[in-house]
Structure 1
Amino acid sequence: MINAPENPPDIPTEQAESLRAPRALAKVIGKLHEGERVLMRQHEQKTSVLLRQSLNQIKSRTISLGELIVILEDRSFGLFMLFFALPGCIPGPPAITSVLGIPLIIFSFQIMMGHHRPWLPPFLANISLKRKYLFNMVHKARHPLKYLETLCRPRMEVVERGGIERLLGLLLLILSITLSIPLPGTNLVTSLAVAIIAIGMLEKDGFIILGGSIFGFIAEGIALTALHFDLKTIEGFYTSIFS
């Protein structure tokens, strides 16, 4: 029987370094995979969960639009569009939807131009909203959101690519402009169209985006009809006064 030497010979420094390098590389790759798994878990979270988590980060009584953008920075255009469209989907002051229609216009224009990150100019970023109002808004919208989420799954991803995404931005821009105009009876359907498209963008569901776009065309038709009757009413009023 051959006994192993009590003190094995030292491994040369260069050889030892060559043995440690693969181990270090394996650790780096492991960390990268763990980061990918975290990102995948975040992406798989439903829209309603993302909204609640984002609002839970707000500690003060009010929050500016700029601070809201910082909180939601990695959540994509879809969450911003949904966040600013939700107030029009529930009963509330008409002035709120008119104010929030302005950032929707800006975000829609950025989508149409092919931008990948949202941005607001300083004079709009400083507009403040009450934290309580935002919580109530998300709370009231939770059931419709969860219902839509049960219908969503990744499909028809071609709808979000290239030129089609820019056309989607154009439609959102038209809807956002309509939303910022306080026309009686039109804010609800217009806001719903924007919200449905935004959920489709978040859930990567081209079918929901397509359905929201069709609903958006219907909403725009309703808005134009309402505008026509409003103008006719105003015209008749002034005619009766000055005739």
Structure 2
Amino acid sequence: MSHEISTRILLQQLADGSPDDDLSFDLVLDSFRHRSYGLFLLFVLIPVFIPIPAGQGAFSGLLTSLIGLQLMWQFEHPWIPKYIGRKTFKRTHIINFQRRFDPWLKWIEKLCKPRYEYAFDHAWARAFSGLLLLVLGILLALPIPLTNYPFGIIVLAFSFGFIERDGILLGLGWIMGIIEIIVLAEFSGYIIKLLEQLWAYFF
């Protein structure tokens, strides 16, 4: 698979136009079909960093899990329900995201390059990525305080890894994802024990 443009240039292309233009998932994914998994992850994460009206950010975790399932099932390209594919959003959300993260994207652009690409093509590697995204998406969808940004950054590593075809960046996403899941599991266990102790003390 050829490596044509970076994530930063891709976002610049999508941001080029009137801020009031309506874009749909189908339109964007069809335009960049060879990068559709990474691009889809990027778009479902935008509400995490750029709040969108009507509670659309609540879908980010569920859509991340949907992508994870499809990677586990070895889909070549992501499938999304028609009502989500037809769903439109303003170009201004992409513009705001691109402006906020452009300094970071410049830095990532210098570091990233296509390497260890078997991580994107090997069935077991794709399945492992899918499993982590499934779990991370479920946790992202839960109303757990102060976790949206950490989970969002981890899934962004997956997104940029898929777009750039950079196996090292994807591996970094694997490591951060595993650590975050373990930390949250330990933290959740601590909270459950604390609540049990409080319940026993008062009741």
What range is the shorter-chain TM-score in? 0.7 to 0.9
Task: Give the deviation of 1:64 after TM superposition.
Answer: 3.7
Question: Any residues of structure 2 matched to 1:130-149 within 5 Å, and which?
Answer: 130-149=90-109
> 3-state SS of the aligned residue for 2:94?
helix
Map of 1:84 onto structure 2: 44
The reply on whether 1:215 has 2:157 as its aligned counterpart is no
After superposition, the CA RMSD in angstroms is 3.1
How many residue pairs get aligned? The number is 200
* Aligned twin of 1:118: 78
The structure whose RCO (Cα within 8 Å, separation 6+) is larger is: 2
1:54-109 per-position Cα deviation (integer Å, ceiling 9, x unaligned): 23367754434344434443433112112322443x36479443222222222221
How many percent of aligned residue pairs carry the same amino acid?
28
Aligned partners of 1:97 and 1:180 also within 8 Å: no
| Structure 1 residue matching 2:176: 3-state secondary structure | helix
The answer on whether the counterparts of 1:156 and 1:205 sit within 8 Å (CA) in structure 2 is: yes
For 1:44-59, what aligned pairs fall within 5 Å after superposition? 44-56=4-16
Structure 1 residue 50 displacement after superposition: 0.7
TM-score (norm 2): 0.80
Gaps of 5+ in 2: none
Deviation at 1:184? 0.8
Task: Select between 117-126 and 201-210 the one with higher mean Cα deviation.
Answer: 117-126
Instruction: Give the equivalent residue in structure 2 for 1:32.
Output: none
Query: Which amino acid in the other structure matches residue 142 of structure 1?
Result: D
Which of 114, 133, 136 is equivalent to 1:175?
136
Shift of 1:229: 5.8
**Deviation by residue 1:114-168 (Cα, 9 ceiling, x = unmatched):** 1111221123334443332232122211122221221112222232222111111
SS of residue in 2 equivalent to 1:141 = helix
SS at match of 1:63: strand
Match of 1:196 in 2: 157
TM-score, scaled to structure 1: 0.69
